[in-house]
Structure 1
Amino acid sequence: MPAPTATPTPTPTPARTHTRTPARAGAAPRTVRLGVHGSTHLASRLVAAAGHAPGSVEYVPYEVTEPFAPLRAGSMDIMIVKYDPLEPDLAVSEPVGFDGRAVLVGSHHPLAGRASVSVEEVAEYGGFRCPGEFPGHVWDLVVPPRTPLGRPIRRIHAMTTLTAMAELLRSTYAIHLSFQSLDAVVPPDVKVVPVHDLPPSPVAFAWLRGGKPPEHVRRFVADSERAARR
């Protein structure tokens, strides 16, 4: 009679160790994708005023010819707007800052060496037409059709990109009524001269009405609004 076969001793199965992945345990905070046009100088000041770290925001550029296209395409969470665009699908925050008014001219221009100018003087020179899909009522605030004294501001040049605008300014006597924050982005041969008799523009954030922004974006907007109220 054959000897009974010994039952093999089961090999213990190693206990499963539940390690957290870096994405859940030590992940960096999510960044706010903030749409900006031209300079990030104004945006970085708003970020600092809100008490957020510079790395907490990613700047996404947009052009004035299609200012809301990147927001509607989902490539940014919020964007900086000057004045209220009154777009039905956009919500707008409280003002989070202000941007002083200025005129952009070539370095050869008669107004280039001035410490500040009046919009009445600016009306001597040709400005830019409303570009692409930019809201017309906002452009009328940026580049008024008339000065406070009733002088027409001739809007005769096509506005496309900052590069094309700079090229026209450096080669002609054209002017562009704009904002002081562009001083940080224009080339050296384009001067940004403050306009002392136009009020500064309110600055706000806009986002799509369709869905609730992520919590980290809502926190950034709320912190910016709170900082502006101080």
Structure 2
Amino acid sequence: MSDSAPATAPAATRPIRFGIHGSPHLAESIIAAAGTDRATIELVPYDVREPFRPLREGAMDLMIVKYDLYEPDIAAGATVAHDPRAVIVGAHHPLAGRPSVSIEETTAYEAFSCPGDFPPYVWDLMVPPRTPAGTPIRRVHPMTTVEAMAAVLAETRAVHLSVRSLEDIVPPNIRVVPIHDLPAAPVTLAWLRGAELSPEAAAFVAAAERSAKP
């Protein structure tokens, strides 16, 4: 692991509490690739507005994160997966029927602003303030929950720059369209720095990192 997880805690008597936001299928694929017994892991959804609160309060052992973190109290390991980039739109949207789009095309529409305590430096990677060509992305709609986001997308021509794994959870009136000119988001596992991971949790992190495709 890139930031070694301590593994000196006594043997766990409960499942590994694994924090997720968005698709559970991404977490399931990481668990399967690691060869970890699914029965030993409990998926714990976290709120994008307070992504690290459950970890800091001891309600999670590990969590999925995307892109690099610079939180002083949170450690993250090596990349365990990649999540291709996509734009999320309503089924009525002009981009909805496309096989893929350019990030530059999304600038014609309003996007979503950084939610709550979500790290702005990560949001700038997920929903960049400007495209590679320098065109501003208008980040105006408040981001709260996936359900509220879907309601805005269904009622407007707004777009949400996100990842393809959301295909698993968006309602039928929402479309997930690949973005062909943004690199996939790196996915890592994170834990509270200085906290003792159980041997089982540390072994899961190590196995997930070993199983990652280069």
TM-score scaled by length of structure 1: 0.86
Cross-structure match for 1:218? 202
In the other structure, the counterpart of 1:78 is 62
CA distance in 2, matches of 1:118, 1:229: 26
Q: Within 5 A, what are the aligned runs for 1:1-230? A: 30-228=14-212
Structure 2: runs of 5 or more not aligned: 1-11
Shift of 1:160: 0.6
Question: What letter matches 2:137 in structure 1?
Answer: I
Measure how far apart 1:229 and its partner are: 5.2
Using structure 2 for the length normalisation, give the TM-score: 0.92
Q: CA deviation at 1:30?
A: 4.2
- Root-mean-square deviation (Å): 1.3
Gaps of 5+ in 1: 1-27
Could you give the per-residue CA deviations for residues 74-128 of structure 1, whole angstroms, max 9, x where no partner exists?
1110000001221000000100010000000000000001111000001110000
Q: What is the identity percentage for the equivalent residue pairs of Structure 1 and Structure 2?
A: 58
Look at both structures and tell me which one has the larger radius of gyration over its CA atoms.
Answer: 1
What is the DSSP-based 3-state SS (H/G/I as helix, E as strand, rest coil) of the residue aligned with 2:39? helix
Partner-residue secondary structure (3-state), 2:212? helix
Give distance in 2, aligned partners of 1:41 and 1:68: 21
Alignment CA distance shift 1:229-1:191 (3 Å): closer
Larger RCO (CA under 8 A, 6+ residues apart)? 2
Q: Are the counterparts in 1 of residues 81 and 213 from structure 2 also a CA contact under 8 Å?
A: no
Q: Amino acid of the residue matched to residue 40 of structure 2?
A: S
C-alpha contact (below 8 Å) 2:113/2:141 kept by paired residues: yes
For 1:47-78, what per-residue CA distance to the aligned partner results, in whole angstroms no more than 9, with x for missing partners?
01001122221100011100000111111100
**SS in structure 1 at match of 2:95:** coil
Q: Which residue of 1 aligns with 2:5?
A: none
Runs of 4+ in 1 over 4 A off after TM superposition: none
The size of the alignment, in residue pairs, is: 203
Q: Is the 8 A contact 1:30 1:216 kept in 2?
A: no
Q: 2: distance between equivalents of 1:60 and 1:163?
A: 18
Cα separation, partners in 2 of 1:58 and 1:164, compared to 1, 3 Å: same
Letter in 1 for 2:38: P
